[in-house]
């Protein structure tokens, strides 16, 4: 699996082409659904709904071991991820 960064440009109408090596590594094909978001540092993130769900499940599974503000943060992140799927 190729995890090397690949440069691309934003074209007219704001379209971005995801290079074939990245699409293949992520299992994306024509018509695949993706979720785009921006984090607090301005990084653009393109996720698949399946990867978001897996991250939510992983965080929830580890949530019972956390206490205090870490739990609050986990719940806030889960709600944010879930809102991307809705």
- pLDDT, tens only, 26-38: 899 999 999 999 9
- pLDDT above 70 as % of the chain: 88
- Per-residue pLDDT of 3-55, as tens digits, reads 788 899 999 999 999 999 999 988 999 999 999 999 999 999 999 999 888 88
pTM of the model: 0.60
- Per-residue pLDDT of 66-77, as tens digits, reads 455 677 778 888
Q: Which two tokens stand for residue 39?
A: 């984090």
State the pairing for strand pair 35-38/44-47.
Answer: antiparallel
Closest CA to 2 of 16, 19, 12, 66: 19
């Amino acid at each position: 699996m190729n995890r090397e960064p690949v440069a691309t440009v934003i074209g007219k109408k704001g379209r971005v082409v995801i290079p074939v090596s990245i699409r293949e590594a992520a299992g994306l094909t024509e018509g695949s659904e993706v979720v785009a978001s921006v984090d607090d540092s301005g990084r653009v993130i393109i996720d698949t709904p399946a990867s978001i769900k897996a991250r939510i499940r992983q965080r929830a599974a580890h949530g019972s071991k956390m206490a205090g503000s870490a739990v609050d943060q986990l719940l806030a992140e889960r709600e944010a991820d879930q809102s991307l799927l809705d």
